[in-house]
Amino acid sequence: MRHVGRFAPSPTGDLHWGSLLVALGSWLEARAAGGRWLLRIEDVDTLRAVPGAAARQQAQLVALGLIADAPPWVQSARGEAYAQALQRLAQAGHAYPCACTRGDLADHGGVHPSRCVRPVRGDAHAWRLRVPAGITAFDDALQGRFEQNLRQAVGDFVLRRTDGPWAYQLAVVVDDAAAGVTDVVRGADLLDSTPRQILLQRLLGLPTPRYLHLPVLVDATGQKLSKSAGATALPADSARALRVALRLLGQTAAAAAPARDRAALLAHAVKHYDRAGLPRARTLAAPQTDAVEAARTLAAFPDTRNAP
Ligand code: GLU
* pLDDT of the residue at 223: 86
User: CA nearest 212: which of 152, 262, 275?
Assistant: 275
Least confident piece of the model among 153-167, 194-208, 228-242: 228-242
Residues 6+ apart with CB under 8 A from 115: none
Which residue of the set 78, 151, 196, 227 is catalytic?
227
Ligand 1, residue 42: give the atom nearest the CA: 1
Contact by Cβ (8 Å): 280, 143: yes
Arithmetic mean of pLDDT, 210-229:
87
Query: How many domains is the chain partitioned into structurally?
Result: 2
Tell whether 223 is covered by a domain: yes
- Calculate the alpha carbon distances from 101 to 46, 71, 98, 104, 257 in Å: 21, 39, 9, 5, 56
Taking the C-alpha atoms of residue 281 and residue 295, their distance in angstroms, rounded to an integer, is 31
Please determine, for residue 290, whether its predicted confidence score (pLDDT) is greater than 80: no
Tell whether 279 is covered by a domain: yes
Please determine, for residue 232, whether its predicted confidence score (pLDDT) is greater than 80: no
Measured from CB, residues less than 6 Å from any atom of ligand 1 are: 8-10, 42, 172, 186, 190
Which of 115, 150, 174 finishes a domain? 174
pLDDT (tens digit, 9 = 90+) per residue, 126-177? 999 999 999 999 999 999 999 999 999 999 999 999 989 999 999 999 999 9
Give yes or no: residues 146 and 84 share one domain.
Answer: yes
Ligand 1, residue 176: give the atom nearest the CA: 9
Arithmetic mean of pLDDT, 53-79:
97
Q: Which of the listed residues 50, 174, 185, 190 should we mutate to test ligand 1's pocket, taking the one with most ligand atoms within 8 A of CB?
A: 190
Taking the C-alpha atoms of residue 305 and residue 68, their distance in angstroms, rounded to an integer, is 24
Give yes or no: residues 119 and 102 share one domain.
Answer: yes
291 — pLDDT class (breaks 50, 70, 90): low
189 — pLDDT class (breaks 50, 70, 90): very high
Please determine, for residue 301, whether its predicted confidence score (pLDDT) is greater than 70: no
Arithmetic mean of pLDDT, 202-218:
97
Residues 6+ apart with CB under 8 A from 214: 21, 22, 25, 142, 185, 186, 187, 188, 249, 278, 279
Considering only residues 123 and 147, tell me which one the structure prediction assigns the higher pLDDT.
147
- DSSP states of 44-106 as a string? --TTTPPTTHHHHHHHHHHHHT---SSPPEEGGG-HHHHHHHHHHHHHTTSEEEE---HHHHH
Tell whether 185 is covered by a domain: no
Give yes or no: residues 86 and 63 share one domain.
Answer: no
Tell whether 261 is covered by a domain: yes
Query: 120: CA distance to ligand 1 center in Å?
Result: 32
How much is the mean pLDDT over the chain?
A: 91
| DSSP structural state of residue 166 | B
Tell whether 29 is covered by a domain: yes
Q: Which of the listed residues 40, 42, 169 should we mutate to test ligand 1's pocket, taking the one with most ligand atoms within 8 A of CB?
A: 42
* pLDDT of the residue at 307: 42
* pLDDT of the residue at 308: 38
Give yes or no: residues 90 and 69 share one domain.
Answer: no
Query: 20: CA distance to ligand 1 center in Å?
Result: 13
Q: What are phi and psi of 148, to 5 degrees?
A: -145, 135
Which H or E element spans position 202?
A: helix 194-204
In the chain, what percentage of residues exceed pLDDT 90?
73
Please determine, for residue 222, whether its predicted confidence score (pLDDT) is greater than 70: yes
Structural domain boundaries enclosing 34: 4-77+215-296
Considering only residues 282 and 257, tell me which one the structure prediction assigns the higher pLDDT.
282
Active site residue 224: no
Please determine, for residue 267, whether its predicted confidence score (pLDDT) is greater than 90: yes
Give yes or no: residues 68 and 126 share one domain.
Answer: no
Query: 9: CA distance to ligand 1 center in Å?
Result: 5
**CATH number, domain containing residue 112:** 3.40.50.620
Residues 6+ apart with CB under 8 A from 271: none
Please determine, for residue 236, whether its predicted confidence score (pLDDT) is greater than 90: no
Give yes or no: residues 60 and 86 share one domain.
Answer: no
Give yes or no: residues 64 and 98 share one domain.
Answer: no
Tell whether 304 is covered by a domain: no
pLDDT (tens digit, 9 = 90+) per residue, 28-63? 999 999 999 999 999 998 788 899 999 999 999 999
Tell whether 186 is covered by a domain: no
Give yes or no: residues 84 and 68 share one domain.
Answer: no
Give yes or no: residues 99 and 56 share one domain.
Answer: no
* pLDDT of the residue at 296: 61
Arithmetic mean of pLDDT, 210-239:
84
Which of 118, 142, 174 finishes a domain? 174
Q: How far is CA 248 from the centre of its chain?
A: 19
Considering only residues 49 and 27, tell me which one the structure prediction assigns the higher pLDDT.
27
Please determine, for residue 198, whether its predicted confidence score (pLDDT) is greater than 80: yes
Give the CA count within 13 Å in the CB-facing half-sphere of 271. Answer: 11
